[in-house]
Structure 1
């Protein structure tokens, strides 16, 4: 069966109007809901790669645009408002009656981590998790990740200035998570032309890692 047609849904939240672009799987077993970061939208290369690759694996991908982005603002809302918007659109994500994995890139990953347990998410996908501001490792946000309270996967670029893979704390028994490195990639998962890997290979690393992790996730 070929890829099904995408559709876009507007959702009213107390933080404003949000938007979900659905990339449905022919025979879905779960929904992966992923949101963008503070500096871009759902056109990000990693989000688009997941939306293109995962429906064939039985995963419906929901690309979520936060209210501030839908409203055309250039600056992201405060963390509390981001969380409010995410919670407000969650019922639309659970509408299909399938388990939902909460995810996002950068600031969107932080939102997913902070809200996953309270919303009953099946897991957390953190793409390019901003472990700390560039050059400020003492300003660690590791607690958001380790405190997510759900199985989590971190996919991190090998040269991400917001936190390289080696900077992440080892997962503990009470806060298990897995980490996959995308070699040579920066915060946007771009790789230099002179790297020993191509951009296509870097994106395949992401989609394969996420697909395999979701296949192992207890639902």
Structure 2
């Protein structure tokens, strides 16, 4: 598993995994990683195996099944063996929560917090297929950064799920699944990305102080 690092070597560590459709080099992953690095966070990015094969062969490959992705995430945690916050964009964030919800995780003692950037609460257009059952089992702090009009879980519907009150939330006004607001909102994508970075940097430092 190849890891790409940003930020100071001794900085608080954030293991950052990608979403289902874009690799660790995507514009979103780059912007957030560099922004966190500028605030003193050590960011470790990696591609899940299916994505690495997609990058190397330029072929379309669907994500592997969750147990395979969880195992790959566990392998990254095991290779680093130090206190860290784990998380990711969309599917990557979901996999981080599944890793944390596994009580038998061999290296779970190193995980001090979870951060989800655009959590996919349900598949698009299928609000009845919720992916929240395991979230209450997570013992570590959880932060979720979400656009208020995310089609995989907007603010109005998510607030009705009865999720643990201890979760840390950042709602990005009018943001979609990539945090992009509409022009008419008067807000910009860059503003929301920066708000995400600021919130995330403070959260990671707090979890690892």
For Structure 1 versus Structure 2, the TM-score category normalised by the shorter chain is 0.7 to 0.9
- 2:182 alignment partner, one of 173, 192, 201: 192
Q: Tell me if 1:122 matches 2:104.
A: no
- 1:33 alignment partner, one of 15, 18, 21: 15
Q: What is the rounded CA distance, in whole Å, between the counterparts of 2:78 and 2:96 in structure 1?
A: 15
Aligned to 1:177: 167
Q: CA deviation at 1:90?
A: 1.8
Q: Which runs of 4+ in 1 moved over 6 A?
A: none
> What is the TM-score when the length of structure 2 is the normalising length?
0.85
Please list, as runs of the form range in 1=range in 2, the aligned pairs for 1:139-218 lying within 5 A after superposition: 139-168=129-158, 169-172=161-164, 176-217=166-207
Aligned to 1:51: 33
The answer on whether the counterparts of 1:158 and 1:183 sit within 8 Å (CA) in structure 2 is yes
1:109-156 Cα shifts (integer Å, max 9, x gaps): 111001125323110001110111223222111123332221010001
> What is the TM-score when the length of structure 1 is the normalising length?
0.81
Note the residue ranges of structure 1 that are not aligned, 5 or more in a row.
1-10, 12-18
After superposition, the Cα gap between the structure-2 partners of 1:185 and 1:150, relative to the gap in structure 1 and judged at 3 Å, is same
Paired residues, number? 196
After superposition, the Cα gap between the structure-2 partners of 1:178 and 1:86, relative to the gap in structure 1 and judged at 3 Å, is same
- Higher relative contact order structure (alpha carbons within 8 Å, sequence separation ≥ 6): 2
Q: What is the rounded CA distance, in whole Å, between the counterparts of 1:192 and 1:132 in structure 2?
A: 22
Note the residue ranges of structure 2 that are not aligned, 5 or more in a row.
55-59
Query: Over the residues paired in the alignment, what is the CA RMSD in angstroms?
Result: 1.9
User: Whose helix proportion is higher, 1 or 2?
Assistant: 2
